[in-house]
Amino acid sequence: MNKKSDSRRWFLKTGLALTGILSFNNVLIAKEKKDMKKNMFIHHVYFWLKNPGNKEDFTKLVDGLEALSKVGTIKMCHIGKPADTNRDVIDRSYAVSWMCIFENSADQESYQKDPIHLKFVADCSSLWSKVVVYDSIDA
């Protein structure tokens, strides 16, 4: 790891420090002035349904993701749907967003093989026509 990437991670710390202690949803985010041992791995999945607009299929997929959220290596997750924003650059054609944060790449690999994840795919993959995944690590 070079100095530049250290600097990037410190930035994240500093950025959050500016906000003090926050509470949003059920999450308390507190700044911490020590411990920068871990990287962040963001796994963001967008699903398009075979039957767009079908409420039953939407609910089945969201229920499946609720079950999926129990995978132990997930540090934070969010089940979303498109917001009302609607500019040219915004893709709001998907049905469901699934954002997961892991501590590192190994935890994300473990999640892929977790029996809960395999059951989710077996139970729900018939619902979607398209999936796009973006996996990101610290720049």
Q: Smaller CB distance to a copy of itself: residue 24 or 126? A: 24
Helix (H, G, I), strand (E, B) or coil at 45: strand
User: What length does the chain have?
Assistant: 139
The owner of tokens 């398209």 is 130
Residue type, 62: V
Minimum Å gap between C-beta 132 and a copy of itself is 6
Could you say which of 48, 76, 110, 117 contacts a copy of itself (CB under 8 A)? 76
Q: Is residue 52 near a copy of itself by the rule CB under 8 A?
A: no
DSSP label of 83: -
Q: Indicate the angle between helix axes 115-124 and 55-68, nearest 10 degrees.
A: 170
- Figure out which of the listed residues 48, 77, 110, 114 binds a copy of itself, where binding follows CB under 8 A: 77
Out of 49, 57, 64, 74, name the contact with a copy of itself by CB under 8 A.
74
By the 10 Å C-beta count (0-12 exposed, 13-18 middle, 19+ buried), 79 is classed as middle
32 binds a copy of itself (CB under 8 A): yes
Q: Which of 44, 60, 110, 123 binds a copy of itself (CB under 8 A)?
A: 44
119 binds a copy of itself (CB under 8 A): no
Task: Look up tokens 């939407």; give the residue.
Answer: 58
12 is an interface residue for a copy of itself by CB under 8 A: yes
Does position 116 bind a copy of itself by CB under 8 A?
Answer: no
Here the tokens at position 112 are: 């892929």
Q: 63, 48, 135: which is closest to 100 by C-alpha? A: 135
Nearer to a copy of itself, 17 or 118 (CB): 17
Write down the least CB distance from residue 57 to a copy of itself, Å. 13
